[in-house]
Structure 1
Amino acid sequence: MKRLTVFTNKLFEGMPEGGETEKVKEEIIRDLEEKVSDLIEEGKTEEDAINKVIVEFGDIEEIKREMDLPQTPKDRKQELARLNFGFSLWGSCLIVALVVFVNFYYTPHVIWFIYPSFGIAWWPLSMFYHLHRKKLENRS
């Protein structure tokens, strides 16, 4: 079950060492070993059971949030990229709404709000690209 220990240590890389972190690590390893034992009893090979448990483990971010651990710089950058994307979506919607109001209030017979709306749409599109790039960087 050395692979489970290596897997857990890799998950906790970059996290501050301490008593609470070690307790959580040991608890995770114990839970993973129990799941592997259950799968072996069901008839799976040890290798298959370990692979299945690792795949089904999930995301370590939930555990970090529960432990109130500081985010890694990569996590912080992705969170800022998500915030920028949300801000750009709301901001561009408000600006487009203002342009539509001005268009229909002052010149209802000419529809011109479409032209600045296309220009404004590039803001959230660029922020979406930035967010997507940060997600890809975090995966590698």
Structure 2
Amino acid sequence: MNSIKKFVTRILKDFFNEEDKKELIEILTTSMEEKVDDLVEQGQSREKAIEQAINEFGDTNDVLEAFPDHEKAKKSLVKKRQNQLIFASLAYLIVSGLSAYINFMWFFPETLWFIFVCIGLLFWPLVMLYNYLMARR
């Protein structure tokens, strides 16, 4: 049943405070385990029963619809992801600009090593953009 708990934890990871989240994870995990036990009693294998219970469970939006504060939690998450994206973008620009300045003014201007820094660092704002877009969806 470890896979069920991992599934429920992953769905709720960005929502609710820690105390509410722990309680909700326990409730949903117990409910899904009971569903798996019922399916096993009906003759399905344990792996198939777990897979079916997870498929029938739904996604984060289905769970959050049961809670009146879910819109507030979602807006809070989107705002958090937006702030992370802004911070990552500004930090990328600062570090890239600083590495270009150091490259041209102090160390080997004929070698453009700062490009490697810029490309390597670009993944940070891209990941934050992905997280922001996923939270908005």
TM-score by length of 2: 0.50
2 CA distance for matches of 1:65 and 1:53? 19
The yes-or-no answer on 1:24 pairing with 2:39 is no
Task: Work out the CA distance in 1 between the residues paired with 2:65 and 2:43.
Answer: 35
1:66 — aligned with what? 66
- Structure-1 residue corresponding to 2:109: none
Secondary structure at the aligned position of 1:38 is classed as helix
1:112-140 deviation digits (Å, cap 9, x = unpaired):
xxxxxxxxxxxxxxxxxxxxxxxxx5399
Provide runs of 4+ in structure 1 moved above 6 Å.
none
TM-aligned CA deviation for residue 48 of structure 1: 0.2
For 2:62 and 2:55, locate their aligned partners in 1 and report how far apart those are by CA, in whole Å: 16
Bigger radius of gyration:
1
Residues 11, 59 of structure 2: 8 Å contact kept? no
CA RMSD of aligned residues (A): 2.9
Does structure 1 conserve the Cα–Cα contact (< 8 Å) formed by 2:39 and 2:49?
yes
Structure-to-structure mapping, 1:1-140, within 5 angstroms: 1-67=1-67, 68-69=69-70, 70-71=73-74, 72-73=77-78, 138=134
- AA partner of residue 78 (structure 2): P
* Structure 2 residues without counterparts, runs of 5 or longer: 83-132
Between the aligned residues of both structures, percent identity stands at 28
User: In the alignment, which residue of structure 2 is the partner of 1:104?
Assistant: none
Residues 48-85 of structure 1, C-alpha deviations (whole Å, 9 max, x = no match): 000000001013224324331410319x99xxxxxxxx
2:122 paired residue number: none
SS of equivalent residue, structure 1 residue 66: coil
Q: Normalising by structure 1, what TM-score?
A: 0.49
Checking the alignment, whether the CA contact within 8 Å between 2:5 and 2:29 is kept in structure 1 is yes
Task: Work out the number of aligned pairs and report it.
Answer: 81
CA distance in 1, matches of 2:16, 2:60: 14
Uncovered stretches (5+) of structure 1, i.e. residues with no partner: 78-136
